[in-house]
Amino acid sequence: RGEMVFRSEEMCLAQLFLQSGSEYDCISELGELGLVEFRDLNPSVSSFQRRFVSEIKRCEEMERILGKHARAHAPCATLLVSCDDQEQLQRLEMELSEVAKNKEKLQRNLLELIEYTHMLKITRTFIHSRSRVSVSFLSLNCRASCFLLPLCLFISGLIERVKVEAFERMLWRICKGYTILSYAEVDEMLADVDTADLSNSVVFLISFWGDQIGQKVQKICDCYHCHLYPHPENDEERADVLDSLRTRIQDLNNVLHRTEEYLRQVLQKASESAYTWVVKVKKMKAIYHILNLCSFDVTNKCLIAEVWCPVSDLANLRGALEEGAVSDATVPSFVNRIPSTDTPPTLLRSNKFTSGFQSIVEAYGVGDYREVSPAPYTIITFPFLFAVMFGDLGHGVIMTLFALWMVLREKKQKKKCSSNEILTTFFNGRYIILMMGLFSIYTGLIYNDCFSKSLNIFGSAWSVKAMFSSQQWTNKTLQANVLLTLDPNVSGVFYGPYPFGIDPIWNLAVNRLSFLNSYKMKMSVIIGVIHMTFGVVLSVFNHMHFRQKFNVYLLFIPELLFLLCLFGYLVFMILYKWLAFGAHVSNQAPSILIHFINMFVMQGKDMTPLYPGQTGLQIFLVLVAMLSVPVLLLGKPLYLYWLYRGGKGLRRRRVSAIKSLFGLYYWIFDNPFLYLACFDLQFDLGDVLLHQSIHTIEYCLGCISNTASYLRLWALSLAHAQLSEVLWSMVMRLGFRVTTKVGVVLLVPVFALFATLTVSILLIMEGLSAFLHALRLHW
């Protein structure tokens, strides 16, 4: 198992023979263990013509009934599904749909009664005003001759406020003035009977004479979706209707309250087992999908399936089949391992600690079968590169405490169904955040930086007293100069390097930024070259595992020589300059950048060399790097061409011997570089040259661009430190400047503002930026 941490597991193709009648239980057991990956044995059959289509449709119907449920984080128990669950869900759906329909009808009736009540109250004023107008009109014409008036009819109802003007114009045009329209807006907003949306409504009363006009008015009201209600003939009838409406509204409110209470009880009871039903249906649907990938034998008594399974789990696979098998079956379920020439899938096991780092690697891509997995190394390199950009002791402690809180609460958090995607993302990466916080504490101690302030733990190695003792400084010197420089060549000024990290005296120095820039920039180059070299070295383990020794000589060694002869030499010059030039000769130290540029242009003979024999060594290293490029470009294609053309007879004899001894399956994965001979494929030199050319150009340019890209370690570390310093000087320093009693009170909101800005800007925003840049460097 130890090898499987660093390399994907060895897989084998197995054939499963499942008993007829127990295939469902067997697949369920295999699904609970998660050991295998099924192959489709019916690729030519469409999904609608497969054997278990009806069962999948039944599962989809149950999913429709259950609806969309929130994602649950609790671990699932083993749940078996039966037809009773579907019947129970259907009964629940029918009950809920009936209750919901009844509730909808009751609510509609209630809204209609409320509208009718408002209509009766408002139209009463219309009738009284018209009666006064009619009496005055008759008194003025009392001496006129008598004539018979036709019977006056009424239509009343409610209409939306936005439709009133158009409704009035339409009545006038169609009825040609043979109607009288009175309307008034309801004081409160009413819910619409059809949509239940709140809107401003208007009560109207239309008076007309004749059946033909009445039909036209009725059609216009229908066109504008008016809600019409019967109009009473007199006040006594109106009063009776209003009394009956109040009684009915009160009864409907009571019935609605009881209906909602019953509906709430049913839903609450259903919600207790909703998650269990969701899990059951999902598992049931997944099992039938897997069964559709299998095929039946000729007698239809046995189900045949092909799976990829880890070799180490074959015993567990047999045990799962025995658990799901029927004891009295005529044909027992069994496993048969079969050889295959197909490339197996890549299986990389992970746990709750390594799963986050494995996701970081798989975000770029999944490695080939049996390749070295970079995920274990990412556990160290990813948080370290993050911490180089985020190095601060205080910020690292806060991040570590937050991650520890999530780790300690992980069992409780998994049982909760959180719909907040941001919190869920943080929780899933809790161990990544924990490692990033711990490494940030380490780099914060290296930088000696805690909220932009240094910690004087061991005492500074620089002394100002020695400058006065040696008569280098006097009181006049202090008065005449604003800035003074400590000279490490003076005895007693500098005692030696600080025991751990950067000396705290640099926090007071004016040239602190220049010193840290030089230190962090060179450190970034060193870390970047080491990281890239480590990535190249990992490839040799793949070449040796797959027995591709020609790749070691034709790929690995040229790549390593090109990288080390150029950028490895740059790291050497940085370290040599740090060690060879002390304080007494620091003014004579040459520029590494100038020497590195002159290395490529073959110039700089007049410059002071960094060390004896520098020019000759640099010419040799450049020639080695340039010669490694054609080897990297042409070495592998020409070797494969010779293997296909020149060594054809030898290759065939080796292939036949190995095939006869070990079998095709084991031979093919131990000797993949002889693929051409095994399958007798046509070798195309042009394709191989094209792919190798792309690889060579990408690698050579990548070495240059990636080395420059690692300078982001320096840039983001500088930006983080400067932001922290600005935040301290612009916020906290203002609170400390007030020395009176008011300053104590003022310090509370100042600290609250400082803490808020620290968490939101320096921890979240800067942390996310450093995370993305560390991700880019790993990709």
Task: Write down the residue that tokens 């008598």 correspond to.
Answer: 146
Asked, for residue 667, whether it belongs to a domain, the answer is no
**Model confidence at 189: pLDDT above 80:** yes
Chain centroid offset of residue 599 CA: 46
CA-to-CA separations, 147 to 138, 141, 143, 144, in angstroms, rounded: 12, 12, 12, 9
**Tokens representing 291?**
């069964």
Neighbours of 33 (CB within 10 A): 13
- Identify which of 344, 331, 327, 284 has the alpha carbon closest to the alpha carbon of residue 31: 284
Q: Quick check: helix, strand or coil at residue 240? A: helix
Average pLDDT over residues 628-637: 91
CA distance 567 to 522: 12
Q: Is residue 606 part of a domain?
A: yes
Q: Is residue 652 scored above 70 in pLDDT?
A: no
Question: Exposed, middle or buried by CB within 10 Å (0-12, 13-18, 19+), for 590?
Answer: middle
Place of tokens 């004016």: 510
* Cβ–Cβ < 8 Å for 17, 336: yes
* Whole-number pLDDT of residue 678: 45
172 Cβ neighbours under 8 A, 6+ residues apart: 179
- Nearest CA among 592, 596, 565 for reference residue 580: 592
7 and 77 both lie in a single domain: yes
For residue 691, is pLDDT > 60?
A: yes
Q: How many domains does the chain have?
A: 4
Asked whether the predicted pLDDT for residue 18 surpasses 60, the reply is yes
Indicate the SS3 state at residue 287. helix
- Count how many Cα atoms sit within 13 Å of the Cα of residue 26 in the half-sphere of its side chain: 28
Residue 741: other Cβ atoms inside 10 A: 8
**pLDDT at 668 > cutoff 70:** no
Quick one: pLDDT at residue 242?
Answer: 87
Output the pLDDT for position 570.
Answer: 92
Same domain, 192 and 80: no
Tell whether 486 is covered by a domain.
no
Query: Could you write out the DSSP letters of every residue in 636-673?
Result: HHHHHHHHHHTTHHHHHHHHHHHHHHH-HHHHHHH-GG
- DSSP helix/strand/coil, 72: coil
What number is the average pLDDT over the span 251-265?
A: 86
pLDDT of residue 17: 84
Q: Among 393, 498, 379, 404, which residue's Cα sits nearest to residue 720?
A: 393
Predicted pLDDT at 23: 80
DSSP 725-754: HHHIIIIIHHHHH--SHHHHHHHHHHHHHH
In a domain, 604, yes or no: yes
Do 605 and 613 form a contact (C-beta atoms < 8 A)? no
Query: What average pLDDT does the segment 96-117 reach?
Result: 85
Under the banding of pLDDT at 50, 70 and 90, the label for residue 329 is: low
Mean pLDDT of 563-586: 87
Q: Do residues 81 and 284 lie in contact, with contact meaning Cβ atoms separated by under 8 Å?
A: yes
Range ranked top by mean pLDDT from 396-400, 503-507, 518-522, 659-663: 396-400
**Does any domain span residue 673?**
no
Q: What are phi and psi of 207, to 5 degrees?
A: -105, 135
Report the C-alpha gap between 157 and 185 in whole angstroms: 12
C-alpha span between 45 and 52 (Å, rounded): 12
149: left (phi over 0), alpha (psi -120 to 50) or beta: beta
For residue 478, the model assigns a pLDDT of 77
pLDDT digits (tens, 9 = 90+) for 404-459: 998 988 887 776 666 677 888 888 889 999 999 999 999 999 998 888 888 888 88
Question: How many other CB atoms sit within 10 Å of the CB of residue 123?
Answer: 23
Note whether 684 and 547 are same-domain residues: yes
Pair (587, 632) in one structural domain: yes
Higher pLDDT, 278 or 612: 612
Same domain assignment for residues 127 and 74: no
**What's the CA gap between 85 and 96, in Å, rounded?**
16
Confidence of residue 3 (pLDDT cuts 50, 70, 90): low
Here the contacts of 427-432 (C-beta below 8 Å, separation 24 or greater) are 428/356, 429/356, 430/356, 430/403, 430/406, 431/352, 431/353, 431/356, 431/403, 431/407, 432/356, 432/357, 432/360, 432/382, 432/383
pLDDT value for 504: 87
Reported as a single tens digit per residue, the pLDDT across 353-391 is: 888 888 888 888 888 888 888 888 999 999 999 999 998
Q: Which residue has the higher pLDDT, 247 or 474?
A: 247
Q: Which residues pair with 558 in a beta bridge?
A: none
Q: Is residue 354 a part of any domain in this protein?
A: no
Torsion angle in degrees (nearest 10) through CA of 460, 462, 467, 469: 60
Helices (H) and strands (E) in the chain, counts: 31, 11
Say whether both 231 and 288 belong to one domain: no
Domain presence at residue 54: yes
Domain final position from 229, 259, 289:
259
**pLDDT-based confidence at 673, cuts 50/70/90?**
very low
pLDDT at res. 104: 86
Question: 735 and 593 in one domain?
Answer: no
**Rounded average pLDDT over 283-309:** 83
CATH number where 244 lies: 3.30.70.2750
CA distances from 430 to 354, 427, 735, 756 (A): 11, 5, 35, 22
| Token code pair at residue 383 | 């948080």
Cα of 185 vs its chain's centroid, Å? 53
Position 394: which residue type?
Answer: G
Q: H or E segment at 229?
A: strand 227-229
Residue 161 lies in a domain: yes
Higher pLDDT, 668 or 505: 505
| 587 or 636, greater pLDDT | 636
Q: Do 579 and 610 sit in the same domain of this protein?
A: yes
Q: Which domain holds residue 734?
A: 718-778
* pLDDT at 779 (0 to 100): 78
132: burial class by Cβ within 10 Å (0-12, 13-18, 19+)? exposed
Distance CA 195, CA 773 (A): 52
Cβ-proximal residues to 217 (8 Å cutoff; 6+ apart), any chain: 155, 171, 175, 179, 206, 208
Who wins on pLDDT, 351 or 72? 351
User: What's the confidence (pLDDT) of residue 611?
Assistant: 83
Instruction: Reduce the DSSP state of residue 430 to 3 states and report it.
Output: helix
Would you say 495 and 584 are in contact if contact means Cβ atoms under 8 Å apart? no
Q: 460 with 432: CB under 8 angstroms? A: no
Total residue length of the chain: 779
- Going by C-beta distance under 8 Å and a sequence separation of 6 or more, which residues neighbour residue 285? 56, 59, 60, 63
Q: Enumerate the H helices of 555-613 as residue ranges.
A: 557-563, 569-580, 592-601
Dump pLDDT digits (tens) for 706-736: 888 999 999 999 999 989 988 888 888 877 8
Distance, in Å, from the CA atom of 386 to the CA atom of 436, rounded to the nearest integer, reads 7
Range with the lowest mean pLDDT among 1-15, 119-133, 244-258, 583-597? 119-133
> CB-hemisphere CA count at 13 Å for 485?
5
Clarify whether residues 739 and 597 are in a common domain: no
Retrieve residue 251's tokens.
Answer: 């009864």
Q: Pairing mode, if any, of strands 179-185 and 11-19? A: unpaired
Report CA 562 to chain centroid distance, whole Å: 38
Check residue 453 and report its DSSP letter: B
Indicate whether 702 and 725 sit together in one domain.
no
Reduce the DSSP state of residue 189 to 3 states and report it.
coil
Q: How far apart are CA 591 and CA 565, in angstroms?
A: 19
Mean pLDDT across the chain? 80
Residue 260 has pLDDT above 70, yes or no: yes
Residues 519 and 637 in one domain: yes
Burial of 357 (0-12, 13-18, 19+ CB in 10 A): buried
Integer Cα distance of 557 and 543 in angstroms:
12
Q: For residue 567, which of 697, 693, 706, 384 has the smallest C-alpha distance?
A: 706
Distances (CA, A) of 484 to 11, 477, 479, 480: 70, 9, 11, 10
Rounded CA-CA distance 198/177 in Å is 33
- pLDDT for res 74: 36
Point out the domain boundary residue: 283, 303, 338: 338
Please check whether residues 221 and 293 belong to one and the same domain.
Answer: no
Structure tokens, 751: 């600290």
Whole-model pTM above 0.75? no
Which pLDDT score is estimated for 612? Answer: 86
